[in-house]
Structure 1
Amino acid sequence: MTQPMRNRREALRLAGAGALAAWAGTALAQAPRAPRLVTISGAITEVVYALGAESQLVGTDTTSLYPEAARQTPKVGYMRQLSAEGLLSLKPDAVIATTESGPPVVLDQLRTAGVRLELVEADHSWSEVQRKVAAVGRAAAREPQARALMARLDAAWAELQQRVAASPGRKPRVLFVLSHSASPQVSGEKTAANAVIGFAGGVNCLSGFQGYRPMTAEAMASAAPDVILTTTQSIEAHGGAEKFWQRPELALTPAYKRRALVTQDALLLLGFGPRLPAAVGELHQSLRAA
């Protein structure tokens, strides 16, 4: 091959490489940017990590404590006390929250600013978990991954419910105590605690009211729980299990005589996220053993 031919071939090669590089650069510039996400719910944040979309997180609320990496994300405040200014400063493409988030005026301001808002209904059901996974899949542009995750979670949930249904014996009467402060509350109907107790094969020994109300001696005596269920945060707030049992209201219960106490992390127990099958499975075993 003559030198002129070599030079011509080299020139063509370089020109082709340059054209390819220019095309790749244009394609990269035109490729859609991964949506920037803010999550308002510890459980929704967990879904983001479960889908491998954590690099898209630009902010989370203060209930987003799991996994450990979520603690290091920029915080936008408590889910019920949000600020539009703080949220918008993070320039999110989408904010994913539950219907328990607010105040409503802040959510309206986000919509007005053109931010995509995914609001998941919080009704303390397995469907709530499904809706959270689907919402994150849509907002993060990871719908195939969301469908695959939901298939795995649905299978785990179905197996767990069969196991709970097959458990022999009387269902334990359970009282949930929320005591992160000096004024303990007990849970009635339409609460996350009421739902998980039922899912785990127990019976909430308090009914006839919705939400939470103060724990009183009269309520404890009439409820007659076999087991007290509370959060690890409640026990820590009291300075340990022994100090928790020193509350005079609890001394009136059958659970007190047996020191039947079951604890779980608050987000794991009440968050209704992708760890719900594991949380309910653990609770079911603990209630049967208490």
Structure 2
Amino acid sequence: MMPAVAQAEGEKNVLAIGGSVTEIIYALGEGDRLIGRDSTSSYPPEATGLPDVGYMRALAPEGVLSVGPGMIISEDGAGPPETIEVLQAANIPFITVPDGYSAEGIVQKILTVGEALDVEAASIALASDVRMKLQEAEEAADALAGDAPKRVLFILSTQDGRIMASGTNTAASGIIEMAGGVNAVTAFEGYKPMSDEAVIAAAPDVILMMDRSGDHFVSDDDLFALPAIATTPAAQTQSVVRMNGLYLLGFGPRTADAVLDLTAALYKG
């Protein structure tokens, strides 16, 4: 990984990889320095007008280099590794922003981006504001959850009737906990397929999903008709929450709002 280097303020040659990185750059008032973004960077709306270099985990060197970046700021996990090696060999500063599925993780992201862009004062101010809002959101969530937190199962997909769900150490698990819920699955880390028996044993009160369309969409009726879901408490109460994926799982400047929205959805009524 190349070290961060200071740039002349306002220089337009930054490529953002990762939705939260792009959001942070705009929140810092530095969006005009961007010359491109990856396909996960869909917010704010003006970001979608930038050249798209592809999906952050399947980048091609030609696509990235085509926008002529002088600096690349990327979420952790960009790849494949051979593409990153090519970019580093091209002597393009490549700053990796650490993942973190907590309030302090978001603060560290903001500070890392601010340092890379040489706008530390702005990043410290933004980080302080975001930290305060996150603390308030989590306190409100804890108050609503009380002694009866909802068990929440995050389902990434149900393709071919096979449930791919979130275990621990994921963005989904992090946001569930911040919103006053309990991740219904703790037997594994990451996102993995689950057997029907494991889903039934998880006994979720609420199903949480990304609001998707196309091949990944599943209707409420089809979801609750799945054998693994049909007998769960969530199915009995028809409790499913769908939210925009970047908003829900991005862990960026909007996460406090996402926590409040998820909390309200989990504990409505």
TM over 0.5: yes
Which residue is 1:116 aligned to? 93
Which residue is 1:53 aligned to? 30
Q: Does 1:264 align with 2:220?
A: no
Q: Does 1:102 align with 2:79?
A: yes
Q: 1:94 deviation in Å?
A: 1.2
Q: 1:234 deviation in Å?
A: 6.5
Cα-to-partner distance string for 1:150-170 (whole Å, 9 max, x where unaligned): 111111112122223333231
Q: Give the letter for the 2:152 counterpart.
A: V
Counterpart-to-counterpart distance in 1, 2:9 and 2:40: 30
Q: 1:154 to 1:267 in 2, by over 3 A?
A: same
Counterpart-to-counterpart distance in 2, 1:191 and 1:33: 35
Aligned length: 260
Which residue is 2:3 aligned to? none
Cα-to-partner distance string for 1:167-217 (whole Å, 9 max, x where unaligned): 323111111111274443111111111111111111111112111222432
Counterpart-to-counterpart distance in 2, 1:69 and 1:134: 23
Counterpart-to-counterpart distance in 2, 1:253 and 1:228: 10
Q: 1:269 deviation in Å?
A: 0.8
Q: In the TM superposition, what are the counterparts of 1:103-252 in structure 2 within 5 Å?
A: 103-167=80-144, 168-179=146-157, 181-182=159-160, 183-233=162-212, 237-238=216-217, 240-252=219-231
Q: Percent identical across equivalent pairs?
A: 37
Which residue is 2:62 aligned to? 85
SS in 2 for 1:147: helix
Q: Give the letter for the 2:224 counterpart.
A: W
Instruction: Output the aligned Cα RMSD.
Output: 2.1
State whether residues 9 and 118 of structure 2, in contact with CA within 8 Å, keep that contact through their aligned partners in structure 1.
no
Cα-to-partner distance string for 1:34-74 (whole Å, 9 max, x where unaligned): 15111110111111111221111111111011112222211
Cα-to-partner distance string for 1:118-148 (whole Å, 9 max, x where unaligned): 1012132223312221232223332222222
Q: Which segment drifts farther, 267-276 or 212-221?
A: 212-221
Q: 1:240 deviation in Å?
A: 3.4
Q: 1:272 deviation in Å?
A: 0.8
Choose 1 or 2 for highest CA Rg: 1
Q: 1:231 deviation in Å?
A: 1.1
Counterpart-to-counterpart distance in 2, 1:36 and 1:146: 19
Answer 1 or 2: higher relative contact order, Cα 8 Å, separation at least 6. 2
